[in-house]
Amino acid sequence: MSFIEAENIWKSYGKGEAKTVVLKGINLKIEEGEFVAIIGPSGCGKSTLLNILGLLDTPDKGNLYINNKKTTRMSENERARFRRKISGFIFQQFYLINSLTALENVELPMMLEGYSKNYRKRRAKQLLESVDLGDRLYYYPYQLSGGQQQRVAIARALANNPKIIFADEPTGNLDSKRSQQIMDILKNLHDEGITIVMVTHELEYTKYATKIVKMKDGMIVDILG
């Protein structure tokens, strides 16, 4: 079995007249160590699919297996625990906590897992150094540029040693120089063996992908690679 297997995933939002069917029978397999880029026009269901693959959302119908576990049969709690254990997330909007320093933002996921203060601080520092923010540990998000904030978010995503990183338009709010820095980091993480699943509308960055999934109108219309 593949690392991730999505079988006939359906998802809609709303009810009655307002009902929109967003995913229409998605089948997708992702192997460990792949770098998957999900592309397609705005509104075609990319983020919805990413959220379902990342266990942030649940399908109405279909099965999702991750690491040989049938996630669609888990309770909400089990799913949340499983998600925290194996995945990290990066979003276009960064979603850092503004009242916490860069260091504290990175410590947070480790706190939820119950690691000691000492360990948390040491690891958060190392992670921030690895994304070139060793001199910004005590800065708050609003004191950092967009590129710097996204690098804090990457350090946070790595805190609990994820097997897989889900990235939703990670460069969507950044200029091309900062975008390239983020893509270089994602490429390095992939080279280190982390599986990456990224939604992007920047076709330039699909060159880092080992598999390109093209979506249209809630369906996968092509898989390259």
Q: Given the rule CB under 6 A, which residues bind ligand ADP?
A: 13-14, 20, 22, 40, 42-48, 143, 145-148, 178
Q: How far is the CB of 51 from ligand ADP (least distance, A)?
A: 8
Q: How far is the CB of 11 from ligand ADP (least distance, A)?
A: 8
By C-beta, is 119 or 138 nearer to ligand ADP? 138
Q: Which residue has the tokens 């576990």?
A: 69
Cα 141 to chain centroid distance, Å, stands at 20
Q: What is the DSSP string of 124-191?
A: HHHHHHHTT-TT-TT--GGGS-HHHHHHHHHHHHHTT--SEEEEESTTTTS-HHHHHHHHHHHHHHHH
Q: How far is the CB of 14 from ligand ADP (least distance, A)?
A: 6
Q: How far is the CB of 159 from ligand ADP (least distance, A)?
A: 20
By C-beta, is 79 or 178 nearer to ligand ADP? 178
Tokens linked to 188:
């390095």
By C-beta, is 110 or 185 nearer to ligand ADP? 185
Q: How far is the CB of 111 from ligand ADP (least distance, A)?
A: 26
By C-beta, is 47 or 105 nearer to ligand ADP? 47
CA distance 205 to 155: 21
User: What size, in residues, is the chain?
Assistant: 225
User: Please, are residues 60 and 10 in contact by the beta-carbon 8 Å criterion?
Assistant: yes
By C-beta, is 75 or 177 nearer to ligand ADP? 177
Nearest residue to ligand ADP, by Cβ distance, number only: 147
Tokens linked to 199:
């939604």
